Amino acid sequence: MEKNKNIDKLTPEQYEVTQLCGTEPPFKNAYWDNKKDGIYVDIVSGEPLFSSTDKFDSGTGWPSFTKGIEKENITYHQETDRYQRVEVRSLNADSHLGHVFSDGPKEAGGQRYCINSASLRFIPKEDLASTGYGKYLILFKKSEV
């Protein structure tokens, strides 16, 4: 099954989060406090999802972003069971990523994508070209001027 080609390589926590809609603990995950330049891709499919240029400290203990870098790679699903909130998933792998809320920084559009680190793989800026994500280097050109 092509869309889930890396599913066998997931850790139990990555599987729980991405395939069973789980949530990892706040402040005890890989990327909540990551300040390095780079992009975040879906752990299953490698789809580009978020950039460190749109990451901010929301105080929640999970990585938070103001927007995605490839809008078509993120799908939205209204949840109505326990909470009234919007789930975000990756398009090709259909991985559960987290949720989007409307309490983000107003100056950046007001959205807060609250994402599980376990659903992501971080690609440092210096590795973008060698890992096939070279087109995203442009995101970091502004900050180097």
Angle at 92 between CA 71 and CA 43, to 5 degrees: 90
Given the DSSP bridges, would you call strands 74-79 and 112-115 parallel, antiparallel or unpaired? Answer: unpaired
Catalytic residue among 17, 39, 41, 114: 114
Burial category of 1 from C-beta neighbours within 10 Å (exposed 0-12, middle 13-18, buried 19 and up): exposed
Any catalytic annotation for residue 21? Answer: no
Q: How far apart are CA 1 and CA 31, in angstroms?
A: 28
Residues 6 or more apart whose CB falls under 8 angstroms from that of 30 comprise 117, 118, 120, 122
- Kindly list the catalytic residues: 114
